Structure 1
Amino acid sequence: MDTTLITALDLAAALDGEHPPAVLDVRWQLGGPPGEQDYAEGHIPGAHFVDMNRDLAAAPGPRGRHPLPDPEVFGAALRRAGVRADREVVVVDAATSAAAARAWWLLRWAGHRRVRVLDGGVAAWAAAGLPLEQAAPPAEHGDFTPAPGALPTLDADAAAALARTGVLLDARAGERYRGETEPIDARAGHIPGAASAPTTDNLLPDGRFRPVQQLADRFAALGVKPGTEVGVYCGSGVTAAHELLALHLAGVDGALYPGSWSEWSGQPDRPVATGAERG
């Protein structure tokens, strides 16, 4: 089964079908407000809220602001949301898929094979005239047990090496890559050799992904060619998953550096490059 995107109308039809998917609402944005507030104000019928900081990441620390989650905590959250090994999962955020892509990547990393992202998120659902509800559904009893390791990851040393031997993409905003500003992490700049590839360039103005050919052309211009080894990082490993989803749509699979800039910049011995060049 294709593990990429689903439209609002197709999701609505699936929810009315014989085997409806589990829907995970993972709305989140850096600095808040909490996504659970938006969920309570209106969510796709039957969707369960899954918290980025509590369920989709471990506690912040030396490994970064959003380390990969403890499999037991992650698995328990998924089971409460009705995730089963044989049941399709659809993950949803507000509009841009930045948070939803994190859940999409984690589920696949944990071994689930039937995961899609609602293209355009709750905004696309509402724009299609589909209903929202406020009442949270009762906890379910799924059976999915994460088996981490199904997708590749990079540590800091591997990311540094890949920036020299392959293509390492920096998914943050261009001004953070260039070191002009750093609102949250220890130092400003980027990993030497990394290429600037903001996730916003993957999207149309309404928050949906660009057509596949446009994505493929974008990544080709960044040096991603057939056979190229590709890695991605961002601030803390969340929006980097969005880049990996865009790459996947374009037919390219890459590796995530989960610690990302929040880990790298916190290690004083790690070199930092600034400016528009890769360094």
Structure 2
Amino acid sequence: MGVTITAFELRELLDSDTPPVVLDVRWALGDPHGREHYAEGHIPGAVFADLDRELAAPPSPEGGRHPLPDLADLQASARKWGLREAQQVVVYDDLGNTAAGRAWWLLRYAGIAHVTLVDGALGAWRAAGLPLESGVPADPPAGDVVLRAGHLPVTDADGASELAVEGLLLDARAGERYRGEVEPVDPRAGHIPGAVSAPTGENLAADGTFLPADELRKRFEGEGATRAKPIGVYCGSGVTAAHQIAALEIAGFEAVLFPGSWSAWSADPARPAATGPSPS
């Protein structure tokens, strides 16, 4: 199964005998109104997944702003969404999947094999002229899925530092945050020394769909990616970095996530910070 499906492919799945669970992961940095946006209009049958409360543990200096949730808590959420064993999951947001990528990565990490992103996110569904549903529906019947952590690789701050030297560490934040020109939410500005700037937004075409695989491959090869070199990704708090991992997978590369990302690194005064356009 690929990383993405089209809006029309999702519509066919929803009309099939084995429809997927569809998660609406409406979230953006500085916008706490995801549930309200969901209520205003979502893909019919979609369940709202709260990124801050269900796709992350409470923030801490050591874990960052969006630590990985406890597996038991994630399983409880997945069952509340109605997810059953071996059922497919389709996720989307309204921001080019830069938030939905977190659900895509996290569920695969927890052992859900069939998770896909709606290519182009909600914008693609609208552009296709497909209907939206408003309001907040009743919870679906409880699911029975059993989650098991560890199906995708993660690293910590020490591992990220090592990747920056011995492999390739990509910083998925906007360029101005990487360079240390601005820092809207985290304790310090800058980037992990040795990390290469690779903003998540550059994974997408103008319509919010992922660039073709060959273009993404050329992009990441231009940043130094090879299949022989270990690749790690971080961002501000481990959200858009997951989107970067999806783009890397489309391009044919495997990558490790640093969940704590810059929010955890910058909270530790013993960790150095680099500024400017160069990695070091």
Q: Do the two structures share a fold, i.e. TM-score over 0.5?
A: yes
Is the partner of 2:247 in helix, strand or coil?
Answer: helix
CA drift of 1:182 comes to 0.5
1:199 to 2:200 alignment: yes
Asked if 2 retains the 8 angstrom alpha-carbon contact of 1:171 and 1:243, the reply is yes
Paired letter, 2:96: T
Paired letter, 2:10: L
Tell me, in whole angstroms, the C-alpha distance in 2 between the residues paired with 1:26 and 1:198: 21
Asked if 2 retains the 8 angstrom alpha-carbon contact of 1:46 and 1:137, the reply is no
Paired letter, 2:105: W
Alignment of 1:15-34 (within 5 A): 15-34=14-33
Paired letter, 1:247: L
Is the partner of 2:218 in helix, strand or coil?
Answer: helix
Tell me, in whole angstroms, the C-alpha distance in 1 between the residues paired with 2:68 and 2:75: 12
Q: Which residue of 2 aligns with 1:169?
A: 170
CA drift of 1:85 comes to 2.3
Q: Which residue of 2 aligns with 1:92?
A: 92
CA drift of 1:137 comes to 4.2
Is the partner of 1:116 in helix, strand or coil?
Answer: strand
Asked if 2 retains the 8 angstrom alpha-carbon contact of 1:179 and 1:189, the reply is yes
Alignment of 1:66-215 (within 5 A): 66-135=66-135, 136-215=137-216
> Where does structure 1 differ by over 4 angstroms across 4 or more consecutive aligned residues?
none
Tell me, in whole angstroms, the C-alpha distance in 1 between the residues paired with 2:138 and 2:129: 21
Asked if 2 retains the 8 angstrom alpha-carbon contact of 1:6 and 1:116, the reply is yes
CA drift of 1:140 comes to 2.1
CA drift of 1:126 comes to 1.1
Paired letter, 1:254: A
Alignment of 1:29-48 (within 5 A): 29-48=28-47
CA drift of 1:23 comes to 0.3
Tell me, in whole angstroms, the C-alpha distance in 1 between the residues paired with 2:133 and 2:79: 22
Q: Which residue of 2 aligns with 1:249?
A: 250
Tell me, in whole angstroms, the C-alpha distance in 2 between the residues paired with 1:47 and 1:78: 13
Paired letter, 1:26: V
Bigger Cα displacement from structure 2, 131-140 vs 157-166: 131-140
Q: Which residue of 1 aligns with 2:238?
A: 237
Q: CA RMSD in A?
A: 0.9
Q: Which residue of 2 aligns with 1:7?
A: 6
Tell me, in whole angstroms, the C-alpha distance in 1 between the residues paired with 2:58 and 2:153: 21
Is the partner of 2:170 in helix, strand or coil?
Answer: strand
Bigger Cα displacement from structure 2, 42-51 vs 128-137: 128-137
Paired letter, 1:167: L
Q: CA offsets, 1:211-243, max 9 Å, x none?
A: 000000000000001211000000000000000
Tell me, in whole angstroms, the C-alpha distance in 1 between the residues paired with 2:249 and 2:150: 18
CA drift of 1:3 comes to 4.1
Tell me, in whole angstroms, the C-alpha distance in 2 between the residues paired with 1:239 and 1:140: 31
Change (3 A) 1:115 1:3: farther
Tell me, in whole angstroms, the C-alpha distance in 2 between the residues paired with 1:208 and 1:33: 24
Q: Runs of 5+ in structure 1 lacking a partner?
A: none
Is the partner of 2:99 in helix, strand or coil?
Answer: helix
Tell me, in whole angstroms, the C-alpha distance in 2 between the residues paired with 1:230 and 1:127: 35
CA drift of 1:33 comes to 3.9
Tell me, in whole angstroms, the C-alpha distance in 2 between the residues paired with 1:138 and 1:156: 38
Q: Runs of 5+ in structure 2 lacking a partner?
A: none
Tell me, in whole angstroms, the C-alpha distance in 1 between the residues paired with 2:53 and 2:190: 28
Tell me, in whole angstroms, the C-alpha distance in 1 between the residues paired with 2:18 and 2:272: 51
Tell me, in whole angstroms, the C-alpha distance in 2 between the residues paired with 1:127 and 1:144: 33
Bigger Cα displacement from structure 2, 31-40 vs 173-182: 31-40
Percent identity, aligned pairs only?
55
The TM-score with structure 2 as length reference comes to: 0.97
Paired letter, 2:141: E
Q: CA offsets, 1:171-214, max 9 Å, x none?
A: 00000000111111000000000000000000001111000000
Asked if 2 retains the 8 angstrom alpha-carbon contact of 1:95 and 1:208, the reply is no
